[in-house]
Amino acid sequence: MNINRAYRMVVGASLVTVMAWISAAEIRDADACTSAVVAPAGSATGTPILWKNRDTSNVSNKVIYVDEEPFAYLCLANASTGSGRSCFAGLNESGFAIINTVAYNVPSLSSESEDHEGIIQADALRTCRTVEDFERYIEANLGPELGARTNIGVMDAEGGAAIYEVHNHGFKRIDAADQPTGYLVNTNFARSGEEGEGEGYIRFKRASELFRTFEAGGVDPEVILHRFSRDLGHPLVNSVGVNEVAALQSRPPVWINTRDRINRPSTASAVVIVGGNEQRPATMWVIPGEPVTAAAIPLWVEAGRSPAAFYEGEEAPLWKESLRIKRALRPLEIGHIGDYLDLTRLVNADGTGYLPDLLSLEQSIFVDTAAFLAGRPQPDALAAFQEQVTARVLEHLRLIVIEGEPPHGYGGQ
């Protein structure tokens, strides 16, 4: 049998299987993030790490620098609300950082406030220095107006790293350092919530599989960004992947359903925050868009600003380009057809796939950043370096032309 046909038959069978196994609890397109909280003992850097693949209906994001008291901070925000007063991941000047995922199995009442997680995180970035500060903040604000139904991951410069499973009337703290692995993987259910309820169990299983590939104490933030955030694997379904499709021609397309993958149709960005030490400042790495459509860029609060391409205009230039690429990968938008991604546009035997060059660019950014930080740069140098890396990534994205798409600047692009 022809190899192209054989692979495409396998993919077709897998898609049917996937759709048969998806439960009603897994159908939400948005607010279904994948994350991890890593203690220093579990980390290859010797400092805490936070990871979040952000899934949301607000696929256009921004990263804003907020000059606030007592702490200035970097804020991942929706493009439509770019004030920095609502954040979905962030890092402040004291080394305190925060992420969240929605927890669908903690208590909630329809008569009470909800969906204030962005406001809570911005408030915490502005006011908190330590994990204990955040705990006091939550305790002081419990009640019907808190508006929380969430798992919040926090870390600080003292090495604290914990998940808070929060609802309006209570919370449970789980420290990453108390886990045998030194880390906590998280999706959209709370460990303290109603058992068997919530969402994200398939992604949780896959992310847990990936983290188990690390040796003890070896969780590597670059691996999380480079591989895990872009992962298209599935713990229940055997389907063709990027390595296999590299042997195929670019046409006809090979489609894969990504609804239950870590890199999903609603993934708007990926963030990995790496704690600092005496040698280097805390770093907030951001992939501006669906991870397979962009490259990771390092940012620092000490730089005193966010590069303009992360926030300028109604749609930040970095997200504008990654969304252009996303639309070419997922050109079918009727119903749930947008859940399907054309793998051959990522990589193929014709050499027209863009992903290998994008990954190569990112790998060079990791190398350059490590060498740069080894020199213990001052704030002005940090600002200049993040601008330079941002410009490299933006230019690279603008030059990507996907087969069948008009060249950049034509056809309404």
Q: Is it the case that residue 196 has pLDDT exceeding 80?
A: yes
Q: Cα separations (Å) of 252 from 151, 292, 346? A: 42, 20, 13
**pLDDT tens for each residue of 310-351:** 999 999 999 999 999 999 999 887 778 889 999 999 999 999
Q: Which of the four pLDDT bands, split at 50, 70 and 90, describes residue 16?
A: very low
Q: What is the 3-state secondary structure (H, E, C) of the chain?
A: CCHHHHHHHHHHHHHHHHHHHCCHHHCCCCCCCEEEEECHHHECCCCCEEEEEEECCCCCEEEEEECCCCCCEEEEEEHHHCCCCCCCEEEECCCCEEEEEECCCCCCCCCCCCCCHHHHHHHHHHHCCCHHHHHHHHHHHCCCCCCCEEEEEEECCCCCEEEEEEECCEEEEEEHHHCCCCEEEECECCCCCCCCCCECHHHHHHHHHHHCCCCCCCECHHHHHHCHHHCCCCCCCCCCCHHHHCCCCCCCCCEEECCCCCCCCCEEEEEEEECCCCCCCCEEEEECCCHHHCCCEEECHHHCCCCHHHCCCCCCHHHHHHHHHHHHHCCCCCCCHHHEEEHHHCCCCCCCCCHHHHHHHHHHHHHHHHHHHCCCCCHHHHHHHHHHHHHHHHHHHHHCCCCCCCCCCCCCC
What's residue 241's pLDDT?
Answer: 84
Contact 348, 245 (CB under 8 A): yes
Query: What mean pLDDT comes out for the span 138-165?
Result: 97
Structure confidence at residue 253 (pLDDT): 92
Distances (CA, A) of 280 to 51, 246, 274, 373, 390: 19, 38, 10, 6, 20
Residue 8 confidence (pLDDT): 35
pTM for the whole structure: 0.91
- High-pLDDT (> 70) share of the chain, %: 90
With bands split at pLDDT 50, 70 and 90, how would you rate the model's confidence at 30? low
pLDDT for res 405: 63
Whole-number pLDDT of residue 18: 29
Q: 240 vs 369, which has greater pLDDT?
A: 369
Work out the average pLDDT over 302-315: 97
- pLDDT tens figures, 50-59: 999 999 999 9
Range with the lowest mean pLDDT among 30-34, 112-116, 132-136? 30-34
pLDDT (0 to 100) of residue 344: 95
Q: How does the average pLDDT of the chain come out, rounded?
A: 90
Q: 3-399: what CATH class?
A: alpha beta
Comparing 26-35, 159-168, 214-223, which segment has the lowest mean pLDDT? 26-35
pLDDT score of 402: 84
Round to whole Å and give the CA distance between 272 and 278.
Answer: 20
Checking if the pLDDT of 408 tops 90, the result is no
What pLDDT, on the 0 to 100 scale, is given for residue 404?
A: 63
| 74-104 pLDDT per residue, tens | 999 999 987 899 999 999 999 999 999 999 9
Predicted pLDDT of residue 213: 98
pLDDT, greater one: 140 or 407:
140
Q: What is the pLDDT of residues 347-364, one digit of tens each?
A: 999 999 999 999 999 999
- Report d(CA 346, CA 399) in Å as an integer: 15
Reported as a single tens digit per residue, the pLDDT across 367-404 is 999 999 999 999 999 999 999 999 999 999 999 998 76
The confidence score (pLDDT) of residue 314 equals 94
Alpha-carbon distance of 17 to 65, in angstroms, equals 45
Contact 55, 266 (CB under 8 A): yes
Instruction: Kindly list the strands in the beta sheet with 73-78, ordered across the sheet, starting from the edge strand earlier in the chain.
Output: 61-66, 73-78, 89-92, 97-102, 149-155, 161-167, 170-175
